[in-house]
Homo-oligomer: A and B are copies of this chain.
Amino acid sequence: MDASERLIESTRELLWERGYVGTSPKVIQERAGAGQGSMYHHFRGKSDLARVAIERSAGEVRAEAERRLAAPGPALERIAAYLRREREVLKGCPVGRLTQDPDVMADPVLRAPLGETFDWLRDRLAAVLAEGRDHGEFDAELDPAATAATIVAVLQGGYVLAKAAGDSAEFDRAVTGVLALLRRA
């Protein structure tokens, strides 16, 4: 990896582990094995680098979802595969955790990818749910948009509960519960 790439990946890791405030340019440079000159050659500063890092993390969250949701098979199976995919649950969601970061939320450029990612995810899940409903997997009354919002919330809340308990089983339990509810819908 070249220095620019190492700086981006180090920033992604640090934002995930420590958040924005706890991530100084110096810590990024140390983790990346890159000097200050290199950092300011490639990026205007910490917030520019954070923007690139957050956009990349948001892109990966979308790509991971798309891989399962675009697969062949019944809607419920695809949604289950997405919810049950391997995750580093106790590290939290690399995108969702940034909503608790006051400096990220105060900066419209850093903040924009967060809302956009969840909007995309909700709309994508709603499309899969509508498809399943049209194929008779769910009853005709199912509201795809509200149900999709519930699923995204279960994921984000599952991370919170797992972190509070120090146990990823809390995430799994919330996912099991929503899948059972969907199976009856």
> Which chain A residues in 39-64 approach chain B with CB under 8 Å?
none
In-complex Cβ contact of A147 among B141, B160, B180 (8 A): B180
Interface size class of A (residues with CB under 8 A): 35 or more
> At the interface, yes or no: A163 with Cβ under 8 Å from chain B?
yes
Given contacts A170-B149, A177-B147, A184-B185, contact A160 B163 (CB under 8 A): no
Q: Are A115 and B164 in contact (CB under 8 A)?
A: yes
> Which chain A residues in 156-185 approach chain B with CB under 8 Å?
156-158, 160-161, 163-166, 170, 173-178, 180-182, 184-185
Q: Are A174 and B150 in contact (CB under 8 A)?
A: yes
Number of copies of this kind of chain in the complex: 2
Collect the chain B residues with CB atoms within 8 Å of residue A99's CB: 160, 163-164
Closest to A158 in B: B153
Closest to A148 in B: B177
Q: Are B164 and A114 in contact (CB under 8 A)?
A: yes
In-complex Cβ contact of A181 among B21, B145, B181 (8 A): B181
Collect the chain B residues with CB atoms within 8 Å of residue A134's CB: none
| Contact flags A78-102 to B (C-beta < 8 A → 1, else 0) | 0000000000000010001101111
> Which chain A residues in 78-137 approach chain B with CB under 8 Å?
92, 96-97, 99-102, 105, 111, 114-115, 117-119
Q: Are B165 and A153 in contact (CB under 8 A)?
A: no
> At the interface, yes or no: A22 with Cβ under 8 Å from chain B?
yes
Collect the chain B residues with CB atoms within 8 Å of residue A173's CB: 145-146, 149
Q: Are A160 and B21 in contact (CB under 8 A)?
A: no
A residues touching B (Cβ–Cβ < 8 Å)? 18-19, 21-22, 92, 96-97, 99-102, 105, 111, 114-115, 117-119, 139, 141-143, 145-158, 160-161, 163-166, 170, 173-178, 180-182, 184-185
